[in-house]
């Protein structure tokens, strides 16, 4: 009902009478008033005048009804510990492919390599539940598809020259805009589900905790709609799961066109070692191939990649 009411408001600039709303929605005028009150409680500025109602502004909160095509799959919470934990619990209970758990803020947001992901108000924090019908060894393709889709979304929406840093960070001018953490569960060599957690610095200021990070609002000098980023990202990513096209298979090749890692001198740190060399290529398993100073090649499977110079 909320998405229908908002749809009617957004189709016109005018005031809409309670009578027209009640006829269009097939509910009583008292019910219309109750729904309007609920929307107002959620932060929608709706003016009630003797002639009817008018939507003056909407909050930039990714409520499920703001995604009419996906409403049943979107789960929004003002605050959680980590969307990763909620999503994993939901996936284990059978949540559908492309379910999304979003949080306004996280009290225990986590990043790769056991780091903390600070999750203040204004950022976009969500975990996507995916059920790709693929064997375990192809699971990495999902992460490449997600970072590729996000990088394209940021480029198209903002015009910024965003690039992907291996494995899945999105950078703008060398500063981190977004990070991705992915976890999965498998059964009999097939992937049961993957939870892809994404944190994007949108209207928050991440520099307090991460001096080398940036947010879209800082880069563009104005707030950016989190709802729009999420909607566009989900649409973009969906195309990689179109089985007829088998697009997941093409992700590595496409990812290579949008990365800032290849051809650069990098250091990749893991808890065990640091490898420094020229980032030559990404192989068909998603591993980074480094050319070491002695000319030999080294395959790096995971780690924190830092671009030198
Ligand atoms: C990284 O760059 O280290 C990955 C950061 C991933 C952060 C996101 S925010 C939404 C989801 N919930 C979490 O606790 N982490 C991921």
Q: Is 94 left (phi over 0), alpha (psi -120 to 50) or beta?
A: left
Question: From the CB of 255, is ligand 1 less than 6 Å away?
Answer: no
Average pLDDT over residues 91-113: 96
| Per-residue pLDDT tens over the stretch 13-63 | 889 988 898 998 899 889 989 999 999 999 999 999 999 999 999 999 999
Are residue 154 and residue 283 in the same domain, yes or no? no
Q: How far is the CA of 110 from the centre of ligand 1 (A)?
A: 5
| Inter-residue contact 130 to 142 (CB < 8 Å) | yes
pLDDT at 270: 87
Atom index in ligand 1 nearest the CA of residue 103 equals 10
> Of 57, 76, 92, which residue constitutes the final position of a domain?
57
Question: From the CB of 64, is ligand 1 less than 6 Å away?
Answer: no
Are residue 72 and residue 198 in the same domain, yes or no? yes
Q: List the CATH number of the domain containing 284.
A: 2.30.30.100
Are residue 186 and residue 125 in the same domain, yes or no? yes
Question: From the CB of 117, is ligand 1 less than 6 Å away?
Answer: yes
| Both tokens assigned to 15 | 């005031």
Are residue 156 and residue 269 in the same domain, yes or no? no
Are residue 293 and residue 144 in the same domain, yes or no? no
Are residue 179 and residue 72 in the same domain, yes or no? yes
| Inter-residue contact 40 to 50 (CB < 8 Å) | no
**pLDDT band at residue 228 under the 50/70/90 scheme:** very high
CA 37 to CA 42: how far, in whole Å?
A: 9
Q: How far is the CA of 200 from the centre of ligand 1 (A)?
A: 9
Alpha carbon nearest to ligand 1 atom 3, residue: 111
Count: domains in the chain: 3
Are residue 78 and residue 226 in the same domain, yes or no? yes
CA 174 to CA 169: how far, in whole Å?
A: 11
Average pLDDT over residues 218-228: 97
Q: Is the pLDDT of residue 4 over 60?
A: yes
| Per-residue pLDDT tens over the stretch 172-201 | 999 999 999 999 999 888 899 999 999 999
Query: What is the rounded average pLDDT for all residues in the chain?
Result: 93
**pLDDT band at residue 284 under the 50/70/90 scheme:** confident
Q: List the CATH number of the domain containing 159.
A: 3.30.930.10
| Per-residue pLDDT tens over the stretch 103-154 | 999 999 999 988 999 999 999 999 999 999 888 888 888 999 999 999 999 9
Cα Rg of the chain (Å, integer): 22
- Enclosing domain of residue 240: 64-257
Are residue 113 and residue 181 in the same domain, yes or no? yes
Q: Is the pLDDT of residue 241 over 70?
A: yes
pLDDT at 246: 64
Are residue 114 and residue 157 in the same domain, yes or no? yes
Are residue 50 and residue 75 in the same domain, yes or no? no
Are residue 90 and residue 216 in the same domain, yes or no? yes
Q: Is the pLDDT of residue 244 over 60?
A: no
pLDDT at 47: 92
Q: Is the pLDDT of residue 243 over 80?
A: no
Atom index in ligand 1 nearest the CA of residue 83 equals 12
Are residue 170 and residue 247 in the same domain, yes or no? yes
Q: List the CATH number of the domain containing 22.
A: 1.10.10.10
């Amino acid at each position: 009902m909320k998405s229908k009411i908002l749809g009617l408001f957004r189709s016109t600039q005018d005031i809409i009478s309670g009578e027209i709303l009640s006829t269009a929605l097939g509910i009583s005028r008292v019910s219309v008033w109750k729904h309007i009150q609920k929307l107002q409680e959620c932060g929608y500025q709706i003016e009630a005048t003797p002639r009817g109602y008018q939507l003056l502004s909407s909050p930039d909160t990714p409520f499920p009804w703001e995604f009419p095509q996906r409403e049943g799959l979107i789960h929004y919470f003002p605050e959680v510990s980590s969307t990763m934990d909620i999503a994993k619990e939901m996936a284990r209970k059978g949540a559908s492919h492309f379910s999304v758990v979003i949080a306004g803020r996280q009290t225990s947001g986590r990043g790769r390599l056991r780091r903390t992901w600070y999750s203040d108000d204004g950022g976009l924090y969500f975990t996507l539940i995916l059920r790709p019908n693929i064997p375990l060894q192809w699971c990495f393709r999902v992460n490449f598809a997600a970072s590729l889709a996000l990088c394209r979304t940021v480029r198209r929406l903002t015009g910024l020259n965003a690039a992907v840093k291996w494995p899945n960070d999105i950078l703008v001018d060398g500063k981190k805009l977004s990070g991705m953490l992915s976890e999965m569960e498998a059964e009999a060599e097939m992937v049961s589900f993957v939870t892809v957690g994404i944190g994007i610095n949108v209207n928050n200021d991440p520099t307090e905790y991460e001096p080398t990070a940036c947010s879209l609002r800082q880069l563009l000098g104005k707030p950016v709609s989190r709802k729009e980023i999420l909607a566009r990202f989900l649409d973009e990513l969906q195309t990689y799961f179109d089985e007829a096209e088998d697009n997941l298979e093409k992700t590595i090749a496409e990812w290579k066109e949008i990365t800032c890692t290849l051809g650069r001198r990098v250091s990749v740190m893991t808890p065990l070692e640091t490898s420094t060399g020229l980032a030559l290529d990404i192989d068909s398993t998603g591993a980074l191939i480094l050319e070491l100073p002695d000319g030999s090649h080294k395959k790096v499977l995971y780690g924190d990649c830092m671009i030198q110079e």
